Structure 1
Amino acid sequence: MRWPAHPRWLAAVRWRRRCRTAATALLALTLTAALASCAGGDDRDGSTLRVWLVEANIPQVAEGYDALVADFERRHPDVDVELTQVPYQQYRDKLVLAVQGGAGPDVMALDQIWSPEFAAAKLIEPLDRRTQRAGVREKDYFPAAWASNRWQGRIYGLPFNVGAWQRMFYNADLFREAGLDPDEPPRTWREWKRAAERIDKLPAHSGISLIGCRDEASSVLTDSFLYSAGGHLTRDGRADFDTPANRRAYGFFQRLAEHTPNGVAGACAEDTMAHFTAGETGMLLDGGWQSGSIGEQVSFDWRVTTPPSPTGRDFTGAMGGYNLAVGSEAPDKRLAFSFARLATASVPHQLATNDSVPALRKAGERFVREHRERPEQVLRLLETAEPRPVSPVYVRISRAQQGALQSILSGEDIGGALAEAERSMQQAIDRP
């Protein structure tokens, strides 16, 4: 989620395709524009299927990848799968270079926020007809995960894994010390503010850890505040950020930030986690996947629950995760789709190839019940979460959102900060 991107490099890829027969290559990649290489032709005959996935974090997932490949090759004896695993931190950059050089994969994992960008540049195939013929159904996946693949009314990928931002972790020992009942965590924003105030009064402690740095994580975090208040960032393809609901959400975030450790505007996810696991803060907002890490690091009594929401509304999280897409230059798109379908529509493969929640609902429900605290809460979050704005200029929209948060945390007028960010978002949409 943290790599810079700009649709101009996608236009450059299309230009490279028109000069594919040239003998030499020229490649210049910058943050805002790129000229792509005039590379030699791709001589693949379809007997090799090239698949790119994010590198497995644990041996069990690596074994799951191997089993998936073996199963596909068993079903297609004349096909060899060439699986490439790329570390998360390097994945996007390597993928961009591969596509520009004419060596892009046939099947690729895409962060949800990249899918519309690749679709708009025609680098991935629309899959509507194939999903219909194969009986792949929207209702079999968590709603926001499926929606993240929809661009201009068409589907451009299949959901692979998901995560709903976020869960609230809290220090039950500090709750007791502050006179709060750890069995009754705050449910409304008003109760949340009061709990943070109580913990903040304890010597050498702060009420809550919040991500406030200029980073994608702060966008996802504040998305959940906006969505829970009934707000959004875009509507019908237009920027719609300076709204009463969003002003309310950012106003509350600003007040809650009064009870964080000093330097909230520079606090990233690793900082907030460190404060919480050190026992310095009473509450933390982060992804549910952090449960295992917290359990390994702390000795105090900790709990996890759904974050509070405005009175009369339910908490709504922001969806993250990866999709599997078919490259538009894949020699055999039918075969590539078959691999993506096997990886995303099979319960055993979904469970074996993910250490986060599988996007297939049946597999995801089983995974959550086996690996997450308070599974029913997590499943509800996954059913009600909303995707981040589905836009080919998402990165620029997110940067404008991050800038607004920086202004608000520095004490600037909320309405002015949101209005300025909305103008930047609309400029990005109008001039990609």
Structure 2
Amino acid sequence: MKISNRRSRRAAAAVALVSVLALTATACGDDGSGTGGDKGSEGSGKGEIVFWDNNGGVRTEIWKEVIADFEKAHPDIDVQYVGIAATEYQSKVDTAIQGGGLPDVGGIGAAMAAGFAAQGALEPLDDRLSKSSLSGKLNESMVESLKSAGGGDALFSIPTSANNGVLYYRIDLFKAAGLPEPTDWDKFYDAAEKLTDKDKNKFGYTIRGGAGSIAQALDAMYGQSGITSFWDASGEKTTVNDPKNVEALEEYVGLYKKVTPAADLNNDFTKMVAQFDSGTIGMLNHNLGSYQDHVKAFGDKFRGIPQPTGPGGKRVQVSNPVDGLGLFKSSKNKEAAWKFIEFATSHEENSKFNKSAGQVPSNNDAAKDTWISEAEPTKLAAAALTDGSTTIVQLPYYLPDWNTISKADNEPAFQKVMDGKSTAKEFLDTMAEQLNEAQAEWNEQKKG
């Protein structure tokens, strides 16, 4: 059964790759039909549009504020909001692509852009952006990141924000224990051990074992090993199962149940954040998105700093996907849908959204607003990405199969490693095999 599933996955990926190449050709001048079948239409620029939020529940309130502002500015357009949990979003969109019922606009982050674009579901946005009031106003690296994630030749999502890995720690607990700030991995591991007292239900760290666990594990691996590229020099073999990464993952997973709660095995980010905010855990790896939650829980008794440094004092971390808004090709009111995307990424609205989300704005003017310097983790994260102290390992979001490999295929396998039912080497060797196959197919299709 395992072999059959993998063959099916490879076959699906191959079809997706062909679709991506056909789609990028379309974006460069064909009729725009892609593989989605329904080309949609520009519409009247008025009436109703449907927006699917790819982080429903977490970002619902701020999106409702943005929508209210938009409807006030455009009284002839009504936006129907649908919030979908991040863990369910991909399957929801995939189902709608096959069976119909896609929205006009949806959240399209880097991790999903290639897969949706490969199915011909997304409208290329290069021309719209170049003629828009947003032209020249968006962070170029975020734009390029989303373009690369979508296949490299067309832009399928307008960036809203960038995230970054953050190590949150309790200042009061560290001070009481006489511990230094966990700025490097040695200090991190030492603090995790010394802040743990199981009898009193106190733990030094909380590790992510549920949905979204792979990206966090990769971050810890590369951060400790110091390896700076996801692929070897040939560009054909991944470095995920390099012996240094295997050793790093063994040490990281060794934290589970030793200095972390047992519940971590199934915790996604919402449960992990809530557990940290309950007040008995010393450290948490997450991203800028949970900053406001910690402010509510602890006030000024915590800090959010860049990820720990590794060998030679160098910080290495994996890329955190840029989030954005995409226009679905089947929309019957693309003009109104584009107006919403344009409005949501304008200076004022983009600033308002990211202040609430605690993330780095995509709009260059919004990124200069005063709240950035007042939100310390955001300020430090932005500095770490621009001051030369950090090397980013770029994850292969361009592979149509990346999201499946990094989630459905391997999240359950990672739980087995945490639970001692599999080894770090077995897990990483399997993942490497899948990645190398996907990369080979991608390279072959590009040649063709």
Give TM-score scaled by structure 2 length.
Answer: 0.72
Residue 220 (structure 1) aligned with residue 224 (structure 2): no
With 290-299 and 276-285 compared, the bigger mean Cα shift is at 290-299
What SS does the corresponding residue of 2:205 show, helix, strand or coil?
A: strand
Residue 420 (structure 1) aligned with residue 430 (structure 2): yes
CA distance in 2, matches of 1:136, 1:192: 42
CA distance in 1, matches of 2:396, 2:438: 13
Compute the displacement of 1:252 (Å). Answer: 3.4
Question: CA, structure 1 residues 413+330, in 2 after alignment: closer, same or farther (shift >3 Å)?
Answer: closer
Identity over aligned pairs, percent: 20
Question: CA, structure 1 residues 114+91, in 2 after alignment: closer, same or farther (shift >3 Å)?
Answer: same
In the alignment, which of 81, 87, 102 is matched to residue 85 of structure 1?
81
Contact persistence 2:273–2:290 (CA under 8 A): no
Match of 2:113 in 1: 115
CA distance in 1, matches of 2:140, 2:281: 33
Question: CA, structure 1 residues 283+108, in 2 after alignment: closer, same or farther (shift >3 Å)?
Answer: closer
- The one-letter code sitting in structure 1 at the alignment partner of 2:162 is V
Match of 1:405 in 2: 414
Q: Deviations over 1:211-269 (max 9, x none)?
A: 123x22x1221232244333565675865532245324313313444422335433443
Q: Deviations over 1:258-308 (max 9, x none)?
A: 422335433443443344333332212222332322233348933332231
Aligned residues: 392
Question: CA, structure 1 residues 167+145, in 2 after alignment: closer, same or farther (shift >3 Å)?
Answer: farther
- The one-letter code sitting in structure 1 at the alignment partner of 2:403 is V
- The one-letter code sitting in structure 2 at the alignment partner of 1:208 is Y
Contact persistence 1:146–1:158 (CA under 8 A): no
CA distance in 2, matches of 1:335, 1:369: 31
Q: Note the 1:10-25 alignment, pairs <5 A.
A: none
CA distance in 2, matches of 1:274, 1:335: 38
What SS does the corresponding residue of 2:315 show, helix, strand or coil?
A: coil
With 231-240 and 388-397 compared, the bigger mean Cα shift is at 231-240
Compute the displacement of 1:61 (Å). Answer: 4.1
CA distance in 1, matches of 2:61, 2:302: 28
Q: Deviations over 1:131-171 (max 9, x none)?
A: 4455866893273564134233222221123322x222222
With 389-398 and 102-111 compared, the bigger mean Cα shift is at 102-111
Match of 1:314 in 2: 315
Question: CA, structure 1 residues 60+44, in 2 after alignment: closer, same or farther (shift >3 Å)?
Answer: closer
Compute the displacement of 1:340 (Å). Answer: 2.9
Match of 1:372 in 2: 375
Question: CA, structure 1 residues 185+64, in 2 after alignment: closer, same or farther (shift >3 Å)?
Answer: same
Match of 1:34 in 2: none
Match of 1:392 in 2: 400
Question: CA, structure 1 residues 227+173, in 2 after alignment: closer, same or farther (shift >3 Å)?
Answer: same
- The one-letter code sitting in structure 1 at the alignment partner of 2:414 is L
Compute the displacement of 1:409 (Å). Answer: 2.4
Q: Deviations over 1:57-79 (max 9, x none)?
A: 465542322323444x48xxxxx
With 294-303 and 348-357 compared, the bigger mean Cα shift is at 294-303
Match of 2:68 in 1: 66
Q: Note the 1:25-64 alignment, pairs <5 A.
A: 45-48=43-46, 50-54=49-53, 57=59, 61-64=63-66
Give TM-score scaled by structure 1 length.
Answer: 0.74
CA distance in 2, matches of 1:351, 1:421: 38
Segments of 5+ residues of structure 1 without an aligned counterpart are: 1-5, 16-36, 75-79
Contact persistence 1:368–1:379 (CA under 8 A): no
- The one-letter code sitting in structure 2 at the alignment partner of 1:287 is N
Question: CA, structure 1 residues 192+60, in 2 after alignment: closer, same or farther (shift >3 Å)?
Answer: closer
Match of 1:291 in 2: 291
- The one-letter code sitting in structure 2 at the alignment partner of 1:83 is V
Question: CA, structure 1 residues 353+310, in 2 after alignment: closer, same or farther (shift >3 Å)?
Answer: closer
- The one-letter code sitting in structure 1 at the alignment partner of 2:176 is E
In the alignment, which of 186, 189, 201 is matched to residue 185 of structure 2?
189
Question: CA, structure 1 residues 226+388, in 2 after alignment: closer, same or farther (shift >3 Å)?
Answer: same
With 392-401 and 352-361 compared, the bigger mean Cα shift is at 352-361
Question: CA, structure 1 residues 240+350, in 2 after alignment: closer, same or farther (shift >3 Å)?
Answer: same
Question: CA, structure 1 residues 142+185, in 2 after alignment: closer, same or farther (shift >3 Å)?
Answer: farther
CA distance in 2, matches of 1:139, 1:246: 39
Question: CA, structure 1 residues 292+38, in 2 after alignment: closer, same or farther (shift >3 Å)?
Answer: closer
Question: CA, structure 1 residues 243+137, in 2 after alignment: closer, same or farther (shift >3 Å)?
Answer: farther
Question: CA, structure 1 residues 135+389, in 2 after alignment: closer, same or farther (shift >3 Å)?
Answer: farther
Contact persistence 2:41–2:334 (CA under 8 A): no
The CA RMSD over aligned residues, in Å, is 4.1
Question: CA, structure 1 residues 331+268, in 2 after alignment: closer, same or farther (shift >3 Å)?
Answer: closer
Q: Deviations over 1:358-391 (max 9, x none)?
A: 3224314537526623442122356566664312
CA distance in 1, matches of 2:369, 2:113: 27
Q: Note the 1:53-202 alignment, pairs <5 A.
A: 53-54=52-53, 57=59, 61-71=63-73, 73=74, 80-89=76-85, 92=90, 95-96=93-94, 98-134=96-132, 140-141=138-139, 143-144=141-142, 146-150=144-148, 151-154=150-153, 155-164=155-164, 166-180=165-179, 184-200=180-196
Question: CA, structure 1 residues 293+152, in 2 after alignment: closer, same or farther (shift >3 Å)?
Answer: closer
CA distance in 1, matches of 2:368, 2:219: 22
Compute the displacement of 1:323 (Å). Answer: 1.5
Compute the displacement of 1:330 (Å). Answer: 4.1
Q: Deviations over 1:52-111 (max 9, x none)?
A: 14268465542322323444x48xxxxx43422111326555544554455433433223
Segments of 5+ residues of structure 2 without an aligned counterpart are: 1-8, 20-35, 443-448
Match of 2:349 in 1: 349
Question: CA, structure 1 residues 62+262, in 2 after alignment: closer, same or farther (shift >3 Å)?
Answer: closer
Contact persistence 1:45–1:331 (CA under 8 A): yes
Contact persistence 2:42–2:333 (CA under 8 A): no
Contact persistence 1:146–1:159 (CA under 8 A): no
